[in-house]
Chain A
């Protein structure tokens, strides 16, 4: 059974810092990995999708890397802003039967950027 762990569970940093969020998964046979952002009581916003054959993806100030063999991914946020405050979730899927299985999520990292 796939298990996803996110470290740290919570993080509070001053504005302007660069930071790294970590995600690990127990079964390396993944199809893709997706990073999401969730604001309190809201739905999930997709940030980055990395296919299993890729090493990294970038979008603006965000960069996600994937080391499939070691079961790890990192989300790098450059020059953090108060608007980045949210919970960040990592999720993986597996390929089966012509499609992708439902996503398996970690519990998330609760990020607070202090002005």
Chain B
């Protein structure tokens, strides 16, 4: 049974560019959440998707947007990249709007230069 997968593993972008990160949830899971983790910090919640809609959003600007597809996979898009967007981006999946245990993927390391 495959766990949560994310792609790409690493990414280097230039300030002002746009980036798309991808996540496939654990088999059977219908809810996907995205987190940003800066070096030495705990993950910060970006948003959660359920039934292809953004169910909840953390304190992140509109430059951060997402999408969930009918197969429950998800994308995170970040526009107008800033140096401060450099971080590890983590995807987590769970059942039924996050009511059960959260399972995390390996993350995507984004570096903005």
Taking A4-B42, A45-B104 as contacts, is the C-beta distance between A102 and B48 under 8 angstroms?
yes
Give A50 Cβ to nearest chain B Cβ, in Å: 11
Query: What residues of chain B lie closer than 8 Å to A41, measured between beta carbons?
Result: 88, 109
B97 touches A103 (CB 8 A): no
What total count of A-B pairs have CB within 8 Å?
A: 80
Binds B, one of A14-22, A74-82, A104-112: A104-112
Interface size class of B (residues with CB under 8 A): 35 or more
Give B111 Cβ to nearest chain A Cβ, in Å: 13
Chain B, range 75-113, C-beta contacts under 8 Å to A: 88, 90, 92, 94, 96-107, 109
> With contacts A46-B102, A99-B48 known, what are 4 further pairs, Cβ within 8 A?
A43-B106, A91-B43, A102-B48, A107-B40
Q: Which residues of A contact B (CB under 8 A)?
A: 4, 31, 34, 36, 41-46, 49, 89, 91, 93, 95-108
